[in-house]
Each structure stands twice: as structure tokens, then as C-alpha cells.
Chains A and B, each alone.
Chain A
């Protein structure tokens, strides 16, 4: 029997994702893939595997699944409630997934959470990737009864976590094609306005609600459609900003006031609806420098791994818990040469 996970239950918004499909932009297909690239890197580091492995993205959704074999998994992105056979699990950490055990993950405050499985999820490839591109009509969200193949896992280590790095609530922007269409006082107001993350958001984009009036521009309805990138802040006809995400359209004619730095998107993706944000412009040079620093940090995440500290008082039945998860022989670190 091949390694697989079986979806017992899934709400809307749960899909298999990977690094997406670069190269089809000219045919109108955006890259897609995981919305939170940092979460992808964190999961790969926690399991000691390439970030090319496909994962399960929970875009505000819940999932229950079981596995065909003993496996490992990691949880990253927006913190959610995770239970293994009813026992609560630490978020931002790697764990053992024993054959037949039942893993439940459900949102706490909202946002995008990720489940990474050792060996990676391996549904069939379509156009060079395994990810679903819901808006583009490739694949679909997972549903109860789906059996998703899992690749071979060369790693053994579980019970690791990454240091908790709190995120601030400032989304830094570089200017975009239509920034100049907005009056200077509107741009000043953009930087002093408090924006609330709206309940309306998905893999295509996230609506932000300003605490004052909107940001419409007079010429806004007759702009030539132009290339779009994830992070672009599009102002629709009603003056409301949308931050475009991984599954955004490839071109669009609504004015874009700026582009959120990719390294700041996880702040927005991991927050729940109702969270307040500020927008702040940085120069292109600053933006590029910040991206390079973040890319280097993502590369080095595995060096920041540390053992998960469990407080025995939080674990009602310590002995059975450790047996069930089959966590460690105590020499994993040495054996894997980490």
C-alpha cells in the first residue's frame, strides 16, 4: 500500500499547494502556489526536506485526516488548533503522525495555516506542479474521502520548533504604476490610516477596510490593463484597497497604489480578520534590500531549529503520549548529523 493521507473532513479553503507554476504568466496563469512563502520554508526546515515538497494550505479552513503509515508532519503559518487523537499539539513545530492516528486542525483566529507532511504530498502533476489553482480552474480544494499520495520520507526527526518571531503590523510598500495618479494628500493619508483586515479574503486577495474614507481616483475606471504581481494593492471602484495574493489575476486595470513587499505578506496572511495594519512606503532600494535579507533568513532557518519544550503539566498522560507519537530515541540529532 502506498503512503497516503486520507481526508476525513475538510471545510472550504483547504488545498494542496507548492511553489506554484512560474512561466505561464504570458498565458494568463498566475504563479499561484502557497500564499505564505515563509511558512513553506519553515515547514521544510522543520522536517529537513526541500521546500519543493507540496503541503496542505488551510486558508481559514479546517481539516481532519488520517495516515496510511507512520509519518512526520509540521505545522506553520497562522496558529491554529491542532489535535492528534484528541491531544493538543504545539503549533510551529514538527510531530510524529502514527499510522491510523487522527489529526484535526481548525482555525483559531483565522488566517492561512499550513500542514507539511514528511516526503511531501504527491497528487498528480498538472502543468509542472501539484498545486491547485482554484481561480484558474486547475484542481480543486480537498474534500472528505480524498486520498492524497505522500512521497518517501528520508528524515526521522520530530519534536523540533522554530523560535517564535512576533510580527509587527506594518505592511511596507514600494510604489507601483499608478501611485502617481493619487494626490499627495491621499498618499499621506494612506500612511496615517488604520486598515482593518476584512473577513473577505482568499487566495486571490485580501480586502482592507480603512478607518476613514476610501482612496478612489478620478481616472480609475479607464486605465489600460497592465501586468499584476502578488502584493499589489489594487483600489477598486469603491475606493477600497485589496492586497493581491498568490492566485491573483495576471493583469488588471484598477489603479494600484503600491506593492506590499513579499516579505511582509506573511504578516497579513497570519493575522485574523479584525487585525489592524498600517501601510508605509519604502524606496525600491530599501525594498530590495529587505527582500534579500529575508531570503537569506529563509535559507538559514534550519540553523534556528530548537527542541520543542513540553511542559509535562500540559500533557495529561505523558507516557502514552510519547509512546503514541514515537518521538525520539534520544539520538536523532546525532544520527541525522545536524
Chain B
């Protein structure tokens, strides 16, 4: 079984659900937990929102299992927009949607543990694995980019086996560097900027996920898959193009 098959939990009753975010946003959620079909549904529904381009729509995006829509309060009101969303939701079975086109597999080298992953031992302990078993598990199968978020180009990768359902730490680590590999709640993140975080820092990649001056500023896309492998020399990664990562088309 690949790490991508995740149908352990049935879809929760009451979804898809339409909720508001802030005073001018709607969130259409397809599940209350990380779920493969709900993730596909969110990506497909967002694409549909883009196609609809209702008057007053300012921006839309996806998170793990939801699509977000921000609108202009001067041009629409909550009731009429909610009605439009309901009609669009009812127009097909979004959970049947396929993954986006043009997906790629990225093979990404990581320096695990030590000064470049100071919380690897702690995270492995929480997951009930030895250090070496933890690294083997995290590198055993590809994880998918389920969403890009938090910071520019930053992937939420999943889903890890159930023993990696470890909580975030209570305090914030003041700063982890760009390219840091962190873990919590059955997901991995590679940070695109240096940032404080509540996730546990277990390794370091040489990836530059956001290059604002480039023609392609964002390296990864939702649907891409990432297969990590352990290496020792971080300086070589940082000197290499794409941090030593290699990509190939997924068919």
C-alpha cells in the first residue's frame, strides 16, 4: 500500500460544508480530516470556481480539504453567493474528481537529524520508532503535495502512516531555516522561508521553493509527489540546482 491510499475513515456526515471565513470569505470544506478524495474534491472545486468567475469574486485558493473564496462586499452579499455555491456543489460529485494534470515526481535529498534536524529523535520517539526506522519510514514511499500554503510555494506533504499522527509542540521553535523538513499530524512540510514553527524540525533539504525573480516562482504544485532520500552533505545540496532534487513526469 502506498502512503497515498488513505481511505481508513469514511467521509464525515455534513460535508461538503459551507462556512464563512472573516467577513468576506467562504470556505467550502469536503471533510473535517485529511482525506484523499476530499483533497481532490477541493482542488477540482477551486478550478470550477475559477471557471465560474462570478462578479465580485476577488480570489480563490485551496487548503488541504477545502476551497476558499474571497469576494467584494460592495458587489455581492453572503446569501446570494452562498446560493450560487450550493448550486455549483450540487452540479456533480466532486469526490470523484481526478488529480490535476501535469503532475511530477520529485526525488529530494535530505540531511536527517543532528544539527540540521535537532528534533528527529523526539519526533521518532513520539511515533514509536527508532531513529533509523523513522528515517526509513519517511523515505519509504512518495508523499503528495496536498496543498501549497502558509508561506510562498510551501508544500504540505502527506500522508504518513498512522503512528506519525503526532501533535505540534506546545511552544514555538523561534526559527527554522529555509528548506527545513518538519513533521506533525501525519504530514511533512519543507519550509520555503525561515520561520518560527510549532512543527518538529527533523531534517534539512536544499530546496528553494519560492524564487520571486524567476519565470516559475513556485517550484511545486498541488498533486506533485515527493520521495525523500537521506544524504550527509548539506553544503553539496545547497550548491546543487534545485537543492539536488530531480523531477520526472508522473503518468
A and B held together in a complex: yes
Binding site for B on A (CB under 8 A): 22-29, 126-127, 135-138, 174, 176-177, 221-222, 224-227, 229-232, 236-238, 249-254, 259, 261-262, 284-285, 287-288, 291-292, 295
**Is B234 part of the binding interface, using a Cβ–Cβ cutoff of 8 Å?**
no
Q: Does A26 contact B70, Cβ atoms closer than 8 Å?
A: no
Q: Does A27 contact B152, Cβ atoms closer than 8 Å?
A: yes
Distance (Å) between the CB of B108 and the closest chain A CB?
A: 18
B interface residues, how many (CB within 8 angstroms): 53
User: Which residues of B lie under 8 Å from residue A174 when comparing CB positions?
Assistant: 20, 22-23
Digitize B148-174: 1 where CB-to-A-CB distance is under 8 Å, 0 elsewhere: 111111101000000001011111100
- A174-B22, A224-B32, A254-B198 known; A288-B150 Cβ under 8 A: no
Digitize B41-82: 1 where CB-to-A-CB distance is under 8 Å, 0 elsewhere: 000001000000000001111111110101001100110000
User: Which residues of A lie under 8 Å from residue B46 when comparing CB positions?
Assistant: 26
Partner of B170, one of A221, A230, A287: A221
Binding site for A on B (CB under 8 A): 19-25, 27, 32-34, 46, 58-66, 68, 70, 73-74, 77-78, 147-154, 156, 165, 167-172, 185, 192-193, 195, 198, 210, 212-213, 217-218
Q: Does A288 contact B77, Cβ atoms closer than 8 Å?
A: yes
Partner of A237, one of B24, B148, B170: B170
Partner of B21, one of A27, A259, A287, A292: A259
Distance (Å) between the CB of B244 and the closest chain A CB?
A: 21
Distance (Å) between the CB of A268 and the closest chain B CB?
A: 15
User: Which residues of B lie under 8 Å from residue A285 when comparing CB positions?
Assistant: 78
Partner of B152, one of A137, A177, A224, A284: A137
User: Which residues of B lie under 8 Å from residue A224 when comparing CB positions?
Assistant: 32-34, 64-65, 185
**Chain A facing B: main interface SS:** loop
Q: Does B20 contact A221, Cβ atoms closer than 8 Å?
A: no
Given contacts A237-B171, A249-B149, A252-B150, 10 further A-B contacts (CB under 8 A): A25-B60, A27-B152, A138-B152, A177-B19, A177-B21, A225-B63, A226-B63, A230-B22, A285-B78, A291-B73
Q: Does A250 contact B23, Cβ atoms closer than 8 Å?
A: no
Top-5 shortest CB links A-B? A251-B149, A26-B61, A25-B61, A221-B167, A237-B170
Distance (Å) between the CB of B70 and the closest chain A CB?
A: 7
Q: Does A238 contact B23, Cβ atoms closer than 8 Å?
A: no
Q: Does A261 contact B218, Cβ atoms closer than 8 Å?
A: no
* B170 nearest in chain A by CB position: A237
What are 27 of the A-B contact pairs (CB < 8 Å)? Answer: A25-B60, A27-B148, A27-B153, A27-B218, A28-B148, A29-B210, A137-B152, A137-B193, A138-B212, A177-B19, A177-B21, A177-B27, A221-B168, A221-B169, A224-B65, A225-B64, A225-B149, A226-B27, A226-B66, A227-B68, A229-B70, A231-B23, A237-B172, A251-B147, A253-B168, A262-B23, A284-B20
